[in-house]
Structure 1
């Protein structure tokens, strides 16, 4: 298939269509508006349904309805809009309904600005709404990966009957790169015997997240935790670069990982080696590989476009086996490779600092 130029937002929308999504509900907010605009044009062309809802709250509840009927459904928004969807996301998780939610993050808190950010990490991986639940969270670092992960997200959502969130940012969403759709359009979607499609000829189905009888909710929560444990055992995704011989390892995702990959490339010309662990699933988090690598390196540096959120999960994974340092930019600031190198110089032993300073001069 021929490569084409697309933005991350457009790639996410088309990938959803290729994956069999025929129901999209959204509400405009920058910087994800290219996605909703693309869906408004494409859904009528393929016989799908596009609704610009009256609010983000309405959109996520429309997703609930389509998902309960067994359809592949999707919504998207940016940070403040995702906040408004949190109650509905909790209901989806509590009702075990599969769907895909795309968050193209912008600066916060509050209305913030429309620049790239990674400050929604806690919201995405720690639940965000009420109750003991998880969404599967996928973090693309390129337009190609945005398409690939959105396609996979629908399969993961159906496999585990669970919401899946794509956690991008303004840079990934609006960046334009050559990409291609590797996978063929989905035609035969998995059968959903649990869905609400009419009970003629079979026992009726019930989709709910309300358990008023004493003991029922605890039993249901135990079931959810068993499911989440299975997801943690089977669905962890990550990329490692140069970690087998690294002195220091960077941990970063999304746009920050692109910057860190440049630092790794520059370090290959020096004796002091820098590696990279790029989590692709933010939940389930790749804690095992981080723990193993922490036993072999001098230290770990987590790089984020936030005040420090993923770094907490990195420290939990390391379990004190090596020092964990942090470098972050907030409010729409994007780290540069030079800034990351300067932070590395701060945290490594003095005898290596002069060698590392050469990194800033490498082109």
Structure 2
């Protein structure tokens, strides 16, 4: 690791310094990270931790992956931002390769995951009016309960998490909420006004909830039959995390629109994208949607390097192979502090016996043992290490989890 920026203040002092000046929209674990490399981070006192969260999948390729850092450095010396008022020499190549990787026709570049979701909503509504013929301002979008698609005002309008919603109304209309993993409820909610069904192939924030086999294929069949779009939010689940480039590939499903983010920026810059068919994304015309930083040269350069890593298939294979190690290790902890778990690739939601503590308390105990994870809800923690983690590091993390739960 390279030396951190100099500071004369320790972790406790730095944490106290944040209190009066930072809005309290997060409740971080009490660790102050100063530098990182690969699957490891180091705090200001020099303590090392294995990162088993990977920035909620934003760090799929680990901290400071050499190929991604080199691409960013190279571009920083040339050009960083033009805005979309002009063309730049990096964007077309990025879009072409991302479309090829995801098997789609067109790319709408944005910055954050929430921006991708908002853009997907706008595109679906525009398609409903221009192509499907839904009467003006009548389009509806069907979503799943316990979803997490972001925290903008429109997105929390269809959240079922009261912490995300309470105090932020009035809410945006036009959404119908049905239970996740329930095709009958989904079919009952879709009608002639439905522009799209928007779901996460795996619900990450809800605790890495994996639907039954056949659910995603059923969503695809239903949306085709009913004449509406299937929009898959792969912001956390995509780009190698589950053992495939996209999580929908586990059922050989091709949505009309896929939302990408997090790992697309390589842990360096925020990069997101809406990718889909020409019939759908082609409904946008100049002036109807935009983003000052969306598709900027630096983002396109880093995003292209991310796509190049995924084109080899190495990271998808690693996620699948190490995912088997993760599942086997967690299975051995069931009845020994773990009451259940769900895992796909290098991604797991682990339900801890509530008698042993909340998810937050378990996360703090693991932190003190040199492992960084984060709780979701109740006594559930999520494990999502960088795809660069080794089998030995993964085994060590599982051993530490066993120690914390059984000591």
TM-score by length of 1: 0.34
TM-score by length of 2: 0.31
Higher normalized helix content (fraction of residues): 1
